[in-house]
Structure 1
Amino acid sequence: MRTRLQGRDKARAVVFAFLALILAALLLGGCMNNADANADQSEQKTIVIGIHDKGAYYSSYGDFISAAFPDLKVELVEMDPDYAHPIAKAQYEQKLKDEKPDLLVGYDIRYKQLAADGLLTDLTTRMMDSKMKEDDFYPGMFEKLKRDGDGSLFAVSPILQASVLYYNADLFRKYNIPLPQNGMTMTDVMQLASQFARAGSNKDGIVGYHQPLSSMPNNLLYTLSYKEGNAPWPYNFQTGKVTVDTPAWRSIIKTVIDLYKNGTFKMQDIKGESKDGEVWYGPDAVSEADLFKQGKSALTIASYNEMNGMPFEVGSVTPPVSPVDNRSSDMGIYNYMAIPAGAEHADTAWEVTAFMLSDYMAKVRSGLQDQYVLPTRKSYMKYDHNPILPQLYEILPSIDQSYPNEGYDPKFMPMFNDLEDREITAAVNGEKSVEAAIATMQKEGQALMDAAKPKK
């Protein structure tokens, strides 16, 4: 969203200054050993880092690396800066050969293919030589990266994206509702949220659950299905069939309609600005959309540390987990660091990587109170004593599912979303029966999908 981009340069300057002070203290105290005291100081170390784009690099990696390695000459190569329109696999691999980066950092969309093509270095030996143990890290990191590496560890990730279920403790006390617990499913969360409406919260303008900018019917259908470990959409790109009129989706649709009707959910159709295929929201729109921060929603899911400094008492528990295992779509490993096979400065690349994985970085991040990521290094819990963390670090990410839609008209999904919003809104307002809304979504949705299918 746009508000998360504004003021980036100022924020980076503050972060860099903070990092420089902390890391200087660590160096002076003899706590960090990221340089060889016997090295020839006249020879400056150099590293070429292949990055996704400069903005993402500096906020996630660059400022830390610059502060920790002030004498390291870093050359940046933007490998694939347009996330919305990534270059072809062959182009990327050719760029890898031409630019010869020593280290790759960025989003994980390329990792699986690069590993399969033998273009990355197995990091297992380097981990062992550095005396790093898997038990010292978030287990979901190794599970995901080894699964995508066909059993080998071709990358590591210093950070994980983690969200939690926040609750407004003042509202729970006011309406005498039992507090949420760790390990709830999304169905559990919805059942808990619905108690507010039954307790009369609607007359005070309070809803049980709200997700800012994700409160329309299509958003909630996705949330209730995907967070329970099911398919995210009521259609299948492989079969070309719409599955609205099936028992599973009929149940989800009826649940969403009931929760709107009884006041557990509130629709907010806040318009953003379309730009390059993405929707951006300004600060006013974001503020209007966030009912939890306004004290008007009892529950929400948001990034760890995002709800600090609220004008009411905030509690948190682990995010919703699948009913079949201890996995959550609110936990994820989406960034990686990898050393290309044959890298010229592989030792320096690993030195940088090991630093990003270090206990020192865990301590630094505890001081930053980052709103969007946690260190994968579990020693972070020595510095941040939030009681939720031991349980949070045990929850594995949902296993990625592939839903290839190659060849389909890209307009299909937003058009189907609009269809869901229109029909469910009509059912909520009493303009249509639930059965009629389901029938329309099935019929018109199938027509949309047929029209969007790849042309033979």
Structure 2
Amino acid sequence: MLKRSMVLLLVLILTTSLVAACTTGNTEGNVKPSNGNDPAEELQVPEKAEVTFSTIFSDEEFEEIIGSYVKKKFPNYTINHISNRGLSLEQLVATQTKFDIYFARAAAFLNAYEPMKMTFDMTELAEKHGINLDSFAPGFIESATFDGKLYGLPIFNDSLVLYYNRDLFDKFAVPYPRDGMTWEETLELAHQFDRNENGTQYMGLWISPKHYFRMNSLSQGFVDPETNKVTVDNDNWKRILNIFAELSRDSGVREMARVNFPSHDHFRGKNSVTAMYVFLTEWIAVSRDQMPLNWDMVSMPVFKDLPGKGTQPYANYAGITSISENKDAAMEILKYLTSEEYQMEVSKKGKISPLKSQKVKDVAFENHPDQDKNFGAVYVNENAPMRQLHPLEDHIVDLMNDKVNELVTGKKDINTILREVQEMGQQVIDQEMVKSK
């Protein structure tokens, strides 16, 4: 009797063990249960999923800097890509195309994706998947948060640096620029190039207007989001426009601008006539062949009273769409793309990381082919605070950009330009506000 009872007990133990083993295994074949280390015990990450990206990159660029890494990290995921260069957001929405992750600048959350009802508050999902928002440098998360809703995570950042053509500096025996220069010092250096030699007009400095306006170091916005009033007719915008007035004070430069307004083409290529150019750091990674053969860079000039204060964040954010049916899988991908593991790899190639991580900064540009460049210039300045964004601010940016032509060519002064932008811009904003009602 005792022996029979022992046998029955043994069978009961074995049966219980088998049931436990089955219930703790993968019951559906595509979901991993929580391992107890996740911030939310209910977290279940699909082992297999189809995730579609919509980005600003070409298919080739996407594969090189994102797709190949994600596919290696998540071999069971099917990764698709839609390039915005071929299909606009409006076309995607009109055709009811499903996509899970999109890339955009912070302003696009308000002026593009929110009006299309494509944004999704990622706050709870980020917490659920253990995203450490404190790992990002100051300003990045704040720039993607609207009314307490987190619309995106920063993947890459672009800042502004001062590129220069060593050959032109050598030609005219002018000392190279250095990190940490003020605008006053930079303009004084630039004016040494303002000359006409054998019919060729040279200029010392040009700045990409739209980019500097959006990223300006004084954190000046364009439209007050509370009142919908244009906010450019003030002393800080006068300081910003004064840089453009000063860099074109030479009569030869003004005359050249009337015939052929300064642009990328004046700096890049073998026929460069501009010694220095303030532009995005993305050039380092993707446009080396368009720059002068003998180029280098230093940190973007700063205002004298704001030493070390660079530009506002200008990140490429990744957001999860409201229509995504694979939000957990998408967030796991974003968790990887914002990890030190991934950021270190693309940092080596020349992508600027939004992370605080010193490890990521220490390996920056390690695999870049031009090891003679001053890559440290990228991290000399700290981010300026983000301006107040407004969904209609691009109308004012466009007006400001158009008016720079009149300033640089000497047709109008700064006060007149700002007054006109204020007045004309307000009319546009008022009209757009009426349309949106």
C-alpha separation between the residues in 2 aligned to 1:453 and 1:338?
29
Aligned to 1:267, which of 234, 248, 257?
Answer: 257
User: Counterpart of 1:324 in structure 2: which amino acid?
Assistant: L
Contact in 1 for aligned 2:55/2:81 (Cα 8 Å)? no
C-alpha separation between the residues in 2 aligned to 1:396 and 1:287?
26
C-alpha separation between the residues in 2 aligned to 1:176 and 1:328?
29
- Could you give the per-residue CA deviations for residues 159-185 of structure 1, whole angstroms, max 9, x where no partner exists? 222442112223323433332222334
Shift of 1:318: 2.0
1:177 lines up with 2:167 in the alignment: no
User: Counterpart of 1:47 in structure 2: which amino acid?
Assistant: A
1:139 lines up with 2:117 in the alignment: no
- Could you give the per-residue CA deviations for residues 328-370 of structure 1, whole angstroms, max 9, x where no partner exists? 2375223125598997662x44543343234553464367x45
2:311 corresponds to: 329
Q: Closer, same or farther in 2 for the Cα pair 1:70/1:449, shift >3 Å?
A: closer
Tell me the C-alpha RMSD between the 2 structures.
5.5
144-153 or 174-183, which moves further after superposition? 144-153
User: Counterpart of 1:353 in structure 2: which amino acid?
Assistant: L
SS in 2 for 1:379: helix
2:405 corresponds to: 421
SS in 2 for 1:352: helix
Shift of 1:189: 2.6
Contact in 1 for aligned 2:51/2:326 (Cα 8 Å)? no
Provide the aligned length of Structure 1 versus Structure 2.
364
1:64 lines up with 2:65 in the alignment: no
1:374 corresponds to: 352
C-alpha separation between the residues in 2 aligned to 1:86 and 1:389?
38
1:123 corresponds to: 126
C-alpha separation between the residues in 2 aligned to 1:158 and 1:182?
26
Q: Closer, same or farther in 2 for the Cα pair 1:182/1:48, shift >3 Å?
A: same
Larger Rg: 2
Contact in 2 for aligned 1:240/1:450 (Cα 8 Å)? yes
Contact in 2 for aligned 1:184/1:321 (Cα 8 Å)? yes
C-alpha separation between the residues in 1 aligned to 2:133 and 2:236?
43
Q: Closer, same or farther in 2 for the Cα pair 1:360/1:192, shift >3 Å?
A: same
After TM superposition, the score normalised by the length of structure 1 is 0.57
C-alpha separation between the residues in 1 aligned to 2:408 and 2:353?
40
2:333 corresponds to: 352
Q: Which runs of 5+ in 2 are unaligned?
A: 1-24, 31-45
1:400 lines up with 2:381 in the alignment: no
- Could you give the per-residue CA deviations for residues 360-396 of structure 1, whole angstroms, max 9, x where no partner exists? 53464367x45xx434464363363467555634644
Contact in 1 for aligned 2:267/2:292 (Cα 8 Å)? no
Q: Closer, same or farther in 2 for the Cα pair 1:344/1:63, shift >3 Å?
A: closer
Shift of 1:145: 0.9
1:454 lines up with 2:436 in the alignment: no
1:315 lines up with 2:296 in the alignment: yes
User: Counterpart of 1:421 in structure 2: which amino acid?
Assistant: N
Shift of 1:53: 5.1
SS in 2 for 1:184: coil
SS in 2 for 1:121: helix
C-alpha separation between the residues in 1 aligned to 2:128 and 2:374?
33
Aligned to 1:296, which of 273, 291, 310?
Answer: 273
C-alpha separation between the residues in 2 aligned to 1:234 and 1:180?
35
2:10 corresponds to: none
User: Counterpart of 1:69 in structure 2: which amino acid?
Assistant: F
User: Counterpart of 1:333 in structure 2: which amino acid?
Assistant: A
Q: Closer, same or farther in 2 for the Cα pair 1:361/1:290, shift >3 Å?
A: same
C-alpha separation between the residues in 1 aligned to 2:214 and 2:47?
50
C-alpha separation between the residues in 1 aligned to 2:311 and 2:387?
11
SS in 1 for 2:352: strand
User: Counterpart of 1:401 in structure 2: which amino acid?
Assistant: R
Shift of 1:139: 1.9
Q: Which runs of 5+ in 1 are unaligned?
A: 1-37, 272-284, 428-433
Contact in 1 for aligned 2:161/2:279 (Cα 8 Å)? yes
After TM superposition, the score normalised by the length of structure 2 is 0.59
Contact in 1 for aligned 2:163/2:298 (Cα 8 Å)? yes
Contact in 2 for aligned 1:196/1:264 (Cα 8 Å)? no
Q: Closer, same or farther in 2 for the Cα pair 1:303/1:287, shift >3 Å?
A: closer
What is the percent sequence identity of the aligned residues? 14
Q: Closer, same or farther in 2 for the Cα pair 1:446/1:286, shift >3 Å?
A: closer
Contact in 2 for aligned 1:416/1:445 (Cα 8 Å)? yes
User: Counterpart of 2:405 in structure 1: which amino acid?
Assistant: D
